[in-house]
């Protein structure tokens, strides 16, 4: 039986958190990303950004051919150092590779995933984390995606949370495929990855049942805790607990198209406040990965797919 989010959110109400981010969204909003963005045609999308004067810029960059055939495959390694005040000095230099939004499906090929996996393994990280959306529109892609990701789990420990596409199309099937590939799927659960360092994974915030308090109850109070949650804007809820050092998220794809001096004209719900990169939320940091894959319209501009290498630094 699904737990009641109302009761799960009650402790956060006491801390003054904006509960609009913590309760399930009404059906019309839950449909927003898939039904508004996924079904946007290329022509409609280009029409939207043309209102920003973007067409001129896009044309100068080589047009739609570049955006659909070149940039989506220009995978880049982003290196991010995150200083964590609670991190014991013996854990300084702990290295985490983050992959997100694989979206295995008609627009993301096996070799695209394999390239990201190979780049990740070559970095020899202490941990790999995957922050959701393994499939595009159908859980039938879960086995293929998990098969490509399996070398990660053979190389090091690999932890994952689910995303909105996974939960909408078959959370059990996607989680089962990842588990079979040796990847530990965390749905409101936490794991100790090194003495004193824990990682929690929340269920999807748009169409699942995230429960940060359930995660906190599994983690020693003196441990440093990292949290995986697909939707970055859920960070306001996570940060308000005062217990989490770093949240890792995806979901936004960085907007897929970013107009210089304007930004991303289209962003999904729960990725509009924190669309990409590193954010400082007081006690907590948030990193938002732009993703490996993409959704339709299958174009990227000024927003390359990424593999992220995060190095945790202890206080000086
Ligand atoms: Fe996604």
- 147-176: pLDDT as tens digits: 999 999 999 999 999 999 999 999 999 999
Ligand 1 centroid distance, CA of 11 (Å) = 30
Ligand 1 centroid distance, CA of 82 (Å) = 24
3-state SS, residue 9: helix
Question: What pLDDT, in 10s, does the model give residues 194-203?
Answer: 999 999 999 9
Burial class (CB within 10 angstroms; exposed 0-12, middle 13-18, buried 19+) of 123: middle
The confidence score (pLDDT) of residue 95 equals 98
Ligand 1 centroid distance, CA of 281 (Å) = 23
Ligand 1 centroid distance, CA of 145 (Å) = 14
8, part of any domain: no
The confidence score (pLDDT) of residue 63 equals 81
Per the structure, the count of domains in the chain is 1
What's the Cα-to-Cα distance from 42 to each of 138, 150, 202, rounded to whole Å? 21, 33, 33
The DSSP letter of residue 38 is: I
- pTM to 2 decimals? 0.84
Distance (Å, rounded) from C-alpha 307 to C-alpha 238? Answer: 24
3-state SS, residue 295: coil
The confidence score (pLDDT) of residue 54 equals 59
**Which range of residues forms the domain containing residue 244?**
25-313
Distance of CA 312 to the CA centre of its chain: 18
Which residues are CB-neighbours of 80 under 8 A, at least 6 positions away? 278, 287, 308, 309, 310, 311
Ligand 1 centroid distance, CA of 316 (Å) = 36
Ligand 1 centroid distance, CA of 300 (Å) = 13
Ligand 1 centroid distance, CA of 15 (Å) = 30
15, part of any domain: no
20, part of any domain: no
The confidence score (pLDDT) of residue 316 equals 74
The confidence score (pLDDT) of residue 12 equals 32
Ligand 1 centroid distance, CA of 85 (Å) = 31
Ligand 1 centroid distance, CA of 135 (Å) = 9
171, part of any domain: yes
Ligand 1 centroid distance, CA of 104 (Å) = 10
19, part of any domain: no
**Tokens standing for 124?**
């020899």
| CA geometry: angle 178, 180, 185, nearest 5 deg | 40
Ligand 1 centroid distance, CA of 220 (Å) = 32
12, part of any domain: no
Regions of the chain where pLDDT drops below 70: 1-62
Ligand 1 centroid distance, CA of 65 (Å) = 22
Distance (Å, rounded) from C-alpha 183 to C-alpha 157? Answer: 8
**DSSP-derived pairing of the beta strands 157-161 and 197-201:** unpaired
256, part of any domain: yes
152, part of any domain: yes
Which alpha helices (H) appear in 15-163, and where do they start and end? Answer: 27-30, 42-50, 54-60, 63-65, 110-122, 142-155
The confidence score (pLDDT) of residue 31 equals 33
CATH number at residue 171: 3.60.21.10
Distance (Å, rounded) from C-alpha 220 to C-alpha 171? Answer: 28
**Which residue carries 């190389």 as its tokens?**
155
Ligand 1 centroid distance, CA of 252 (Å) = 6
The DSSP letter of residue 115 is: H
Radius of gyration in angstroms for the set of CA atoms belonging to the chain, rounded to a whole number? 19
């Amino acid at each position: 039986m699904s737990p009641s989010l109302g009761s799960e959110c009650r402790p956060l109400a006491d801390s003054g958190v904006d509960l609009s981010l913590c309760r399930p969204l009404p059906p019309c909003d839950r449909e927003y990303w898939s039904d508004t963005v996924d079904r946007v045609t290329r022509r409609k999308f280009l029409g939207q950004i043309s209102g920003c004067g973007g067409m001129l810029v896009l044309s100068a960059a080589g047009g739609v051919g570049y955006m659909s055939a070149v940039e989506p495959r220009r995978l880049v390694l982003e290196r991010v150092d995150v200083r964590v005040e609670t991190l014991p000095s013996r854990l300084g230099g702990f290295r985490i590779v983050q992959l997100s939004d694989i979206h295995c499906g008609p627009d993301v090929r096996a070799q695209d995933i394999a390239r990201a996996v190979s780049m990740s393994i070559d970095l020899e990280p202490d941990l790999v984390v995957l922050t959701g959306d393994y499939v595009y529109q159908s859980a039938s892609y879960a086995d293929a995606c998990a098969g490509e990701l399996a070398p990660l789990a053979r190389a090091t420990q690999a932890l994952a949370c689910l995303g909105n596409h996974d939960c909408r199309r078959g959370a059990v099937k996607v989680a089962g495929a990842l588990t079979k590939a040796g990847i530990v799927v965390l749905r409101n659960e936490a794991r100790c990855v090194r003495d004193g360092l824990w990682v929690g994974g929340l269920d999807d915030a748009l169409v699942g049942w995230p429960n940060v308090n359930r995660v906190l109850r599994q983690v020693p109070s003196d441990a440093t805790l990292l949290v995986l949650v697909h939707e970055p804007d859920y960070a306001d809820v996570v940060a308000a607990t005062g217990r989490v050092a770093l949240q890792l998220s995806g979901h936004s794809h960085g907007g897929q198209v970013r107009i210089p001096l304007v930004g991303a004209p289209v962003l999904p719900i729960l990725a509009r406040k924190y669309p990409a990169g590193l954010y400082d939320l007081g006690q907590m940091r948030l990193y938002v990965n732009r993703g490996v894959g993409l959704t339709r319209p299958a174009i990227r501009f000024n927003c390359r797919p990424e593999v992220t290498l995060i190095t945790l630094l202890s206080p000086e």
